[in-house]
Structures are given as structure tokens and as C-alpha cells.
Amino acid sequence: MDSTPEVGREGRGRRSITREDVMTAAEVAEMLGMPVSTVYELARRGELPSARLGRTVRFLRESVEERLRGE
């Protein structure tokens, strides 16, 4: 059984997650032009999808870009 995480949506091809697909809060803050604390608050409220990995929070680039486009 392959335990490699995958990204994608229903109907699209699935592929493995790469480092380029995952962003830190600082990277998201820079991309969205807002403070890092706001990124964490949006994640806490569920307005910006995120995942906790131990003590860190990570974001999928695709989700952040969708937010930029207003989707």
C-alpha cells in the first residue's frame, strides 16, 4: 500500500505532494500581503485551510491561490 500523500480534486489526476505544494505561514503571509498573525487567525477560524504537523501549521499552495482568486 502506498502511503504517499496526494493532492487533487475529484475528476482530476492525483499526484504526490511536493515541497512546492506546501507553504509555511510566513510564505502565505507574503503571498497574501498580510501579517503572519492574521494567517494563523484565518487558519484557526477555518477560513484558510491548513494542517497541523506536530507544532507547525502548513498550507496547501492550491488552497491559498484559490483564496487569492476569490474562489
* pTM (two decimals): 0.72
CA atoms within 13 A on the CB side of 24: 6
Rounded to the nearest 10 degrees, the angle between the axes of helix 61-69 and helix 25-32 is 20
Segment 28-61, tens digit of pLDDT: 999 999 999 999 999 999 999 999 989 999 999 9
The dihedral region occupied by 25, where left means phi > 0, alpha psi between -120 and 50, and beta the remainder, is: alpha
Q: What per-residue confidence (pLDDT) applies to 60? A: 94
Which band of pLDDT confidence, cut at 50, 70 and 90, is reported for residue 1?
A: very low
Q: What per-residue confidence (pLDDT) applies to 70? A: 83
Ramachandran angles phi, psi of 60, nearest 5°: -85, 130
